[in-house]
Each structure stands twice: as structure tokens, then as C-alpha cells.
Chains A and B, each alone.
Chain A
Amino acid sequence: MPSDARAKSAASGDLLEQVMDVLRRYVSSTTASSAVVMARRRTSSASERLDRAQLREILPSIDRSLRLFMADPKRVDECIKALEVLSCSKAEGGPSSTIVAVKVEQDVVRVRNEARELAVALGFSLTGRTRLATAVSELARNIVQYAGEGEIELKAVIPSGLEVTARDRGPGILNLDEIMTGNYRSKLGMGLGLRGVKQLADAFEVNTGAGKGTTVTFVLRVQ
């Protein structure tokens, strides 16, 4: 491949390269490429580019190869899940997303576990996963405590990170400035949730107002 073409495919997030990046986290480069080459030979997906449908088709074969090379079946599952995330992205190059309804306490645990799993799939470190789960937990709890119900959307921004959006149609936050500057004493809590999420996040935005509910969005890059 000429070098300018290589640069272009990296910039557009070439799927084959992304698949190789994931695999190399689990096996050697050589093993990774032979697993892919073998899988593609077995199916008919031999063209230069790999698309998401083809990736889905070759996943079972990659799974079988990985099991030959990796001792820990849990790690194989984790790797396959990461590849599934890549293959499920809605549009070519577009993000894949999950929406979790949040209403009761158990949903708080559910959504942060969901976030954690997605973070594993995207290659977040343990610290990154913990930060993500904590931030998601804060927003989910706020929904349960103050809005009654809402939802949290987890969107993989491949390959760079994860975008989390917490939405509700609750009463809105009327004193957001006060809260974000830390001059606020909460009745229920420490008043640290939203500010904490902002400090953990690489990007953070709140959209709220009386009668229009609350939407909090944050992005965490793979770390």
C-alpha cells in the first residue's frame, strides 16, 4: 500500500486496521493477521476492504482461532465482544450505541455495568473503566433521585472513546451555575456528583431548564 493511501485509511478509521488493533491487544501481530486471513479465506470476503457485514460473518472463525492461541476463555469472550462492537456500528464509520432506561436503583447498577463492559470492549484501562463507571453512576443516580426516570445512552466513538448522554424530563436544574462553581450545599448528597463528572470527563455539557428536563453529556477518551 502506498504510504499516502495508508495514511488515508488510518484517518478514515479503516475497519481492518481497527480489527487488528483490537486483536493485537490479545495476541501477537502474527497470530492476529493469520487469524484474520484464515477467517477471510474460509468465507468469501477476500476483497481488499473489510466491511461490517463481512466482519460479522468472519467473527465465529476468528473466535475459533483465538481459542487455539489463548488460554483464558474469558479473554477470548472479551476480545470477541470488542470486535462485535466494531461490527455493530450503525453506519460505516459511525458510532454504535446502547440506550438503558433508568428508573429504579437496580438500573443504576445495570447501566454502570453496561458502561464497564463497553469500555472493556473499547480498550479502556482499569482506571479508565472505573472512572467511566463512577461518572455513569452519578448521572444515573441523579435521574432516579431528582427526575424519577430517564435514560442513559452509551455511544462508542470508535476508535477514540465513549460518549455518555443522560436524559430526563424531570424538573430541570435551576441553579446550575451555583452547583458547578461548588457554592452549593446539597440536601440529599455532597453536591459533588455533577462537578465530579465534569472533572473526570474530557468533554462535558449540561443542558437543563425548568420544564425542559436535563441532559448531561460527557466524553471519555480511551485511557
Chain B
Amino acid sequence: MSYGAAIEEGSAGSLMVVERTLIVQLNPALTDSAVRRLRDVVGSTLEAQQLRALVINMASVDMMDSYLTRCIRDLAVSARLMGVPTIVCGVQPAVADTLVEMGMDLGDVRTTLNLDSALRLVKQSRRARS
């Protein structure tokens, strides 16, 4: 599968747009300011481009604490306010286990097992709409 060219590289992760879907790949070992920078870049990308969906891939993230969880949730909520649906994918089982145990969750954000199923879902809902 071709993902098109990366638009922006940052220490928090990388961004790319494929068929008007913004895919954010988060890196492991994120600092808070790296997450904040990423959030800003994603926000302005959403604003500048006519996007259909935002996909956040958590596959390389080895822990989600309350801060990161909140950032992801906020990102999804503000994308939705801008009319862009968000899918979070690839949360590792141990990470999901810890979130549940701590009493945290991602709210009503859509989640899928991996990137492929997220992209499939984007395609399906696009077809459903047209």
C-alpha cells in the first residue's frame, strides 16, 4: 500500500495524507511537549486541507498515561468539531489493559485493531455516504 509522501516529520511522530485521510504515526517515548507540538501540527493540517478522516496509529506507543490519553481524546474531539471523523488504531494490548485498569478510556472515539482496518473503515464510510 502506498501512503504518499510524508508532510511533516517531528519527534512525536510523522504525518502523511493519503486520499484525503491524514494518518498520524506516533513514536514511542513521547515527551509532553512533543505531543503538544504534534497536536498543533495536526490541528493546522486539518484546517489547511480538505480532509475526510483523521487516523491516529498508536502501534509503536508503549504506554499511554493520563496526559497522552487526554491529548488523543482532545484531538479527536476538535477534529470532529471541524467535521473530520477520527479513528484511533493499533493500541497495544498491554497499553489497553493498563488504561482500563486505571479507569481511563478514549471516550467515544472510534478504534480499530490496526492501520489497515482503520483505512478500510474510512473507505467504507465514504462509500456509504456517496
Contact = CB atoms under 8 A, between A and B. Distances in A.
Interface of A: 105-106, 108-109, 112-113, 116, 126-127, 129-131, 133-134, 137-138, 141, 189-190, 192-193, 195-197, 199-200
B63 interface: yes
B62 interface: yes
Nearest to A144: B32
B contact residues, range: 20 to 34
A104 to B, nearest CB: 9
Given A127-B94, A130-B62, A196 B33 contact: no
B101 A200 contact: yes
Given A105-B32, A106-B31, A199-B103, A134 B67 contact: no
Contacts of A137: 63, 65, 67
5 closest Cβ pairs, A-B complex: A196-B102, A130-B94, A137-B65, A127-B94, A133-B63
B123 interface: no
Contacts of B102: 134, 192, 195-197, 199-200
A131 B66 CA distance: 12
B121 to A, nearest CB: 26
Contacts of B6: none
Contacts of A141: 32, 65, 67
B104 A190 contact: yes
A190 B97 contact: no
Interface string B79-123: 000000000000011110110011110000000000000000000
Nearest to A113: B29
Given A127-B94, A130-B95, A196 B31 contact: no
Contact of B98 (A108, A112, A134): A134
Contacts of A112: 63
Contacts of A108: 31-32
A196 B97 CA distance: 12
B104 A192 contact: yes
B76 interface: no
Contacts of B92: 130
A126 B94 contact: yes
